[in-house]
Structure 1
Amino acid sequence: MVKVEIVEERDQQESTSPYASAASSRTSSSVSLSSVGSDVDAEESFYQRIAALVDIVPPTTRHKIAARVSRTAGFFRTSGRVLGNLVWIVTTSALLVGLPLALSLEDEAKIVAQEKEMLAQQQGAQHMASMYAPPSPNQPQQKGVVPPGF
């Protein structure tokens, strides 16, 4: 922000001012300008310095810059809203359709595994039964071979 102060002209201030002497030449005025320091206000913040630069930029340029920034912000706001809605639709669809489907496929896989296990048990039982089944009456019985000496 620019501060305007009224400075009263005095004879003492004119003698200390680098611009006061009427007899000064161009070279002496440039030398005297380098001796004049820019007093930075210690209480002035960085934001205040940037805000003071607004006066340098013409109003039409400031309006164009503000319009572009607002359009860009609106684009990102709209894009974020649309993207959020799409993410919401995808996740809810996955939960409502995909989760029950996955659970039913898992249950079906368990049932198929149980059926395979039961079939293997039945085949094993049939195999064992055929090995240890008593001979049928139609088949001649084998006589046991006894080694000599018994």
Structure 2
Amino acid sequence: MVKIEEVTDADRERPNSPYSSSSRNSSSTSLSSVASSEVDDVQSESLIDRISALVDIIPPTTRHSISESLSQTTRLLKRGTKFAGNVVWIVTTSALLVGLPLALVLEDEAKIVQQEKEFLAQQQGQQMLAGSPFAPPSPPQGIVPPGF
């Protein structure tokens, strides 16, 4: 930040003033001290101070339009994230309430189909064994087994 100071003739005539013109040597010394004090002022100036000083450069109408566009962008982002959150919530709860029971039913049905296939395979295996030469002989038709 630039500091403006009014220098009067009375200040120039003071012997200890950095603006005194008593001798060439003292004026060069005083100018160097003034330059070093300006450097110290610039170094102690923070980034926030510099940004706040830029506010004066931008006209009020432009500042207002920038502020409005930033607030609209913020508002749209908030609405968008809220909408996205609602969509995610709906999809998640629907998947849990509809998809999970459906998946369980389909799994049970697949188990039942697998059991039926195994049962049919066992029946076919028994039929093949009954028709094979290694199967135990069936009793003759005219003979009644004991116990009847």
TM over 0.5, yes or no?
Answer: yes
Q: Could you say which residue in structure 1 is the equivalent of 2:117?
A: 116
Q: Which amino acid aligns with 2:117?
A: K
Distance 1:60 1:67 in 2: 11
Q: Could you say which residue in structure 2 is the equivalent of 1:134?
A: 137
Q: Which amino acid aligns with 1:134?
A: P
After TM superposition, give the deviation of residue 41 of structure 1 in Å. Answer: 2.3
Distance 1:61 1:107 in 2: 67
Within-5 A mapping of 1:36-47: 39=39, 40-47=41-48
Would you identify which runs of 4 or more consecutive aligned residues in structure 1 move more than 2 Å? 2-9, 36-41, 135-138
Identity rate of aligned residues, in percent? 51
Q: Could you say which residue in structure 2 is the equivalent of 1:141?
A: none
Q: Could you say which residue in structure 2 is the equivalent of 1:87?
A: 88
1:10-50 per-residue CA deviation (whole Å, 9 max, x = no partner) reads 1251649xxxxxxxxxxxxxxxxxxx796352221112111
Under a length normalisation based on structure 2, what TM-score does the superposition of the two structures give?
Answer: 0.69
Q: Give the alignment's Cα RMSD to 1 decimal.
A: 2.5
After TM superposition, give the deviation of residue 4 of structure 1 in Å. Answer: 5.0
Q: Could you say which residue in structure 2 is the equivalent of 1:103?
A: 104
Unmatched runs of 5 consecutive residues or more in structure 1 = 17-35, 139-150
Aligned length: 118
Farther-moved stretch of structure 1 (75-84 vs 42-51): 42-51
Q: Secondary structure of 2:43's partner? A: coil
Pair 1:48-2:77 in alignment: no
Distance 2:105 2:138 in 1: 48
Under a length normalisation based on structure 1, what TM-score does the superposition of the two structures give?
Answer: 0.68
Q: Secondary structure of 1:134's partner? A: coil
Distance 1:136 1:121 in 2: 23
Q: Secondary structure of 1:55's partner? A: coil
- Highest relative contact order (Cα 8 Å, sep 6+), 1 or 2? 1
After TM superposition, give the deviation of residue 7 of structure 1 in Å. Answer: 4.6
Alignment CA distance shift 1:135-1:61 (3 Å) = closer
Distance 2:69 2:112 in 1: 63
Alignment CA distance shift 1:135-1:6 (3 Å) = closer
